[in-house]
Amino acid sequence: MLEKNDNLHFYIAAIFSGIILALPFIYSHFWWVTWFGLVPLLILIDRASTYKLVARLSFISGVAFFSTSLYWLYYASFMGLVIAVVYCSSYFLLFGLALKYIQNKKNPQAFSSIFITSSIWVICELIRSYLFTGFGWNQLGYSQFDNLRLIQIADFSGVYGVTFLIVLVNSFFKDIILSSREFVFYNKKVVVSKIVLGLVCLTIILGAYAYGDIKLNRELPQETIRISVIQGNIAQHQKWETFYRDMILQKYIRLSRMASIDKPVLIVWPETALPGYLEEYNLYKEVSDFISGVKISVLIGAPRVDSYNDAYYNSAVLFSKQGKVLNVYDKIHLVPFGEYIPLKGVLGFLYGYYEIANFSKGEIHTIFNLDNANFGVLICFEDVFESLVRTFVSRGADFMINITNDAWFYESAEPRQHLSASVFRAIENRVSFVRAANTGISGFIDPYGRIISKVNKSGKQICIEGFATADIPLVSQRSFYNRFGNVFVGFCFILLLFFYFKPTRI
């Protein structure tokens, strides 16, 4: 057991665990370190003698993880970074206390312990994704977005199934390390039990890979739709300056003319690409004239004003080939402290200290129709919310479009972290995803999470201008996850209750 008095080595180990877990979110080729990065924290929790020590070690590990993986929030708001890190780290603390409580109460053996640990972690990540509007960014499962064979299980488990496997393996390694330190391998029974436990873990992992092989070897449907995405690469300080207004609009028009040569059915501009409000006559007319000239439908991210209700919206606007507005989607899930202030009566004073928009929340899950294909639009970080994507697809979307402006975060890890969410949403719902990002990463993802193409210049995808065109497949069959949602997390909860209330130790 760890001593009751704090020891600097405990905190170093906790910080090390958090940083190792964060590495794949900074450099995606380090995806493999997630499979053992949690081990030091699990050992600390197992050996800590008091709940206070568990709370401190778990929280500081969370701070190390989130401050490393979410560092890019600093570019937008230092206070936002602090709030996000403290808030998200509290879920590491919750995990540590819940795990320690069950260890003290039930003293589970290794077989039940690895499933208890994985279930608690998954439940904590689900709560973080929904509580207080939710912030499910950088769940452990997202670290594997390049590991396509493994993550195909997300079509029934969501990203939570991948997270479960990661924690399961970490928990197994923790058990092996602790057993070796206690010299229990001299006991034949223990050796056999560890081998069985290892085989169980290996079978589950191999089963996930086998499932992925089956899915990835399936043929994609022949029905496709051709779409072009425009990446304007407009610097954040230029977006709302009158001086740059004409330059911005002409850049999008020029890139769209180039894309029109590929004869797409739809051209997509990023979030708030229009350098002004949709209702401004001169802007509207110039865009309308351009579209009617090329005779291609265009989806444009634009702020708009509802003067009747005195409301402002962050919107996606679909123009017909004739340059007329066909339909509008108003962003439903706004960014707290970025697009609105929660609890205005209490926190309204923040408007005087930070540059915060005052957008209103959209209420309608708009389904756009184009050439007999239906699609939904997600603005900014809405693709992180799996329930929102499920709703669009359940209501008839044949593919999804994400328009975003990540210019706030320059060439940081944020655009790739954002991309990883779209990859999982595509697999979970088995629909194609189209991404149009102001500074990148823009491109196309098929229903199996494979990136078809990106806006790319000499191997660079972020902070460049350009366009890309692709034929994306349209899948009509809905996945288990799309129909039933987070059933897997419910299974984790039942599993946790089973092992907790089971009278005999297993």
DSSP assignments along 376-395, one per residue: EEEEGGGGG-HHHHHHHHHT
Three-state DSSP at 360 gives coil
Contact 22, 38 (CB under 8 A): no
Length of the chain: 506
Q: What are phi and psi of 469, to 5 degrees?
A: -130, 140
Q: Which residue has the tokens 């709302």?
A: 240
AA letter at 134: G
Active-site annotation holds for 331 = yes
Q: How far apart are CA 208 and CA 197, in angstroms?
A: 17
DSSP assignments along 239-300, one per residue: TT-GGGHHHHHHHHHHHHHHHHTT--SEEE--TT-SSS-TT-HHHHHHHHHHHHHHT-EEEE
Out of 271, 382, 428, 465, pick the active-site residue: 271
Residue 290 in tokens: 């351009």
Please choose, from the candidates 143, 162, 142, 140, the residue with its C-alpha nearest in 3D space to the C-alpha of residue 152: 162
Three-state DSSP at 194 gives helix
Within a 13 Å sphere around the CA of 355, how many CA atoms are in the beta-carbon half?
Answer: 8
Q: How far apart are CA 318 and CA 374, in angstroms?
A: 12
Out of 331, 386, 465, 492, pick the active-site residue: 331
Out of 88, 124, 380, 492, pick the active-site residue: 380
Contact 416, 442 (CB under 8 A): no
Residue 23 in tokens: 């590495």
Residue 406 in tokens: 């990540």
* Per-residue DSSP letter, 336: B
Within a 13 Å sphere around the CA of 5, how many CA atoms are in the beta-carbon half?
Answer: 0
Q: How far apart are CA 16 and CA 1, in angstroms?
A: 20
Cis peptide preceding 441, ω within 30 of 0:
yes
Q: Which residue has the tokens 């003698």?
A: 49
Residue 47 in tokens: 């050996």
Reduced to 3 DSSP states, what percent helix, strand and coil does the chain have, rounded to the nearest 5? 55, 15, 30
AA letter at 24: P
Within a 13 Å sphere around the CA of 162, how many CA atoms are in the beta-carbon half?
Answer: 29
* Residues taking part in catalysis: 271, 331, 380
